Structure 1
Amino acid sequence: MSGIALLAVTAGVVTACGDEGSPAPASTSSASTSAAPGARGAAKTELHMVENDGHRLAFHVTDGSGPVIVLDAGGGEDSSYWKDIVPKVRTATGAKIITYDRAGLGHSETVAGPWQVESAVSDLKTGLHKLGVTKDVILVSHSQAGEIATYLTKENPGLVSGSVLVDASLPPLYTDEEIARIVAANQPAVDAAKKDPSKPQNRQLISTAESYTPMHKAYHHISWPDTVPTTVIVSEKTPFDGSPEDAQRWRDAAATFVRQGPDRTLITAKRSSHDVPKDRPALVLKEIEKMVSAQG
């Protein structure tokens, strides 16, 4: 199994593009213009620094109306992951769009200790509430963000009206056997990271590895609310492109998730790697449009 598997799904060390060493802006908000040409017109994007549990997080809000589309990047990626998609989504839907940097990424402050999905959920929920967003959220969640989406939606079904899960980490995958395979395959990378824990990417990998097994044993038993429709996009190559057995398990997990409840649709991103938003942006945009239209 390729050692990139855990990195792509949970830590994103190899593909990380966020500058974790960047200082957080001193101001609580600042405005900038984001070009979104077309019938919907240009849109303004504003940066808000939101505090939760003693640390600050960067939220980027693009003006719009109707449902609020929250784009949540995979492990190791910050809000800039969506920079090419945000203007297109805004033009196509006219909706308000929110992207954000999870703790330790982009302009958000680092939190010490093992990575905990509960903390990540709290950060996102608190940020949305402080921005006045309490309903009609459409989550677009890639990779590791699927775990945040699952817990957030289960605990706050009134907040989320629909979701597009993009090659997301889903509960059915994490049997005891699969967890053990992922941990074993990635142990060399974790050991290497421990030799230089000063690097932000290494710190994130180490913190993820510390909580990985118990967190995913629990995640395996979490269910998605039947009241919240979702579209599941699964990549053809998956994060386990080097292991046919694990790649099939990833695809099977997506299919199982869809069968477990109503109003769920499965779509395969042909010819795509795990990086579906980069490889097949038009497909992601199409499914976001469809979800927005379905939710009014």
Structure 2
Amino acid sequence: MSRATRRSWFPRRAIAAVVVLALTTGAVAACGGPDPAAEDPGKAQLHLIDNAGHRLAFHVTPGHGSTIVLDSGGGEDSSYWKNLVPDLHSATGATVITYDRAGLGKSDVVPGPWKVQSAVSDLRSGLRRLGVTKNVILVSHSQAGEVATYFAKENPSMLSGAVLVDANLPPFFTDEEIARLVAFARPQVDAARKDPDKPRNRQLISTAESFVATNRAFHTVAWPDAVPATVIVSEKTPFDGSPEDARRWRAAAASFARSGPHRTLVTADNSSHDVPKDRPALVLEEIENMVTKQH
């Protein structure tokens, strides 16, 4: 494939480079100090929670019944979900939690390569500190699919279901595909190194440093049969302009959905990789469906 061809399909924003590389009921208790300006039950309350020597920002909209946790993709913080949270809370009445992974939003930076196990620890510790230990529906976009897979494997009793939104899934990350992604992303990683303090660039660099080993391991991880999952795959995928990679992305989603019980595959027609932005009503509907199944 020529360099010009690669440029023609490769996403232009730094966040999209992260996408390609990273593909990078409990009572909520006040801990870590809620934001005193956010005591309205209808608004998110900020909780700063310590884990492994760094602080993480969790934004909690209190409700009842299920707890819905929204986890954004590579390079995005909790604000990615800001337009969906009010509608989701209104439609389900559930507690809705968004959070900033380390190095993003209001959460502390953790130097060094990105480690999925550290991300899992951050999420698990944050939820436990908030008193959330069961009946969680995890909604994960893009890179967050890796966090979700390990989280589900290690903590199946905490989850009542998951909605994986154009998410990283183990079947996609063959050795051949990993090599393709590394080659395609190299120019963007080199450019990011020129401005390493920018949050999205910082995450791209940290993801690149651990990418090969992380995703070879991820390829072997199995989703637990006990946790229902809805898989939403975008029509255009992160690889709009690269038909072969787009085909592999869709095939991986279909393979994942076939590989265990209680899994549903949904195609987001006319959507880019940013399904929550392009098809918010569809994402809302599938989350509502998952909540309904648990009652």
Question: Could you state the TM-score of these two structures normalised by the residue count of structure 1?
Answer: 0.90
Residue 173 in 1 paired to residue 172 in 2?
yes
List 4+ stretches of structure 1 deviating above 6 A. Answer: none
- 2-structure distance, mates of 1:146, 1:219: 10
Q: Could you tell me how far apart the structure 2 residues matched to 1:118 and 1:55 are?
A: 15
Residue 260 (structure 1) aligns with: 259
- 1:46-78: per-residue Cα shift (whole Å, max 9, x none)? 100000000000000101000100000111111
Distance 1:216 1:245 in 2: 19
Aligned partner of 1:275 in structure 2 is 274
Return the alpha-carbon distance in structure 2 between the equivalents of residues 228 and 126 of structure 1.
20
Q: Is the 8 A contact 1:138 1:161 kept in 2?
A: yes
Picking from 9, 28, 37, the partner of 2:33 is 28
Q: Any gaps of 5 or more consecutive residues in structure 2? A: 1-5, 25-31
Deviation at 1:29, TM superposition (A): 1.6
How much does 1:200 deviate? 2.6
- C-alpha distance after superposition, 1:160-192 (max 9, x if no partner): 110000000100000000000000001111112
Structure-2 residue corresponding to 1:205: 204
Q: Deviations over 1:194-231 (max 9, x none)?
A: 23323332221111100000000000000000011010
Q: How does 1:135-284 map to 2 (within 5 A)?
A: 135-284=134-283
Q: Distance in 2 between matches of 1:34 and 1:249?
A: 46
1:98-127 C-alpha deviation (Å, 9 max, x unpaired): 000000100000000000100000000000
Instruction: Find the counterpart in structure 1 of residue 29 from structure 2.
Output: none
Alignment check: 8 A CA contact 2:21 2:185 kept:
no
Q: Distance in 2 between matches of 1:237 and 1:44?
A: 34
Residue among 2, 19, 33 paired with 1:8? 19
Please give the alpha-carbon distance, in whole angstroms, between the structure 2 residues aligned to 1:192 and 1:204: 13
1:137 to 1:205, Cα distance in 2 relative to 1, 3 A: same
Contact 2:145/2:168 (<8 A) preserved: yes
Structure 2 partner of 1:46: 45
Contact 1:103 1:110 in 2 (8 A): yes
For residues 75-95 of structure 1, what are the alpha-carbon distances to aligned partners after superposition, in whole Å with 9 as ceiling and x for unaligned?
Answer: 111111111100000110000
Question: For residue 83 of structure 1, what is the aligned residue in structure 2?
Answer: 82
The size of the alignment, in residue pairs, is 277
In 2, Cα distance between the equivalents of 1:247 and 1:270? 14
SS at match of 1:140: strand
Conservation of the 8 A alpha-carbon contact between 2:22 and 2:211: no
Question: Does 2:121 match 1:110?
Answer: no
Question: In the TM superposition, what is the alpha-carbon distance from 1:9 to its structure 2 partner?
Answer: 4.3
Q: CA deviation at 1:30?
A: 0.9
Residues 251-290 of structure 1: CA deviation (Å, up to 9, x unaligned): 0000000010001000000000000000000000000000
User: For structure 1, which segment, 200-209 or 140-149, has the greater mean C-alpha deviation from structure 2 after superposition?
Assistant: 200-209
SS at 1:30 equivalent? coil
Q: Structure 2 vs 1, CA of residues 295 and 236 (structure 1 numbering), >3 Å: closer, same or farther?
A: same
Cα 1:162/1:32, change in 2 over 3 Å: farther
Residue identity over aligned pairs, in percent, reads: 66
Deviations for 1:21-47, whole angstroms, at most 9, x for unmatched residues? xxxxxx822145599xxxxxx713210
C-alpha contact (below 8 Å) 1:11/1:204 kept by paired residues: no
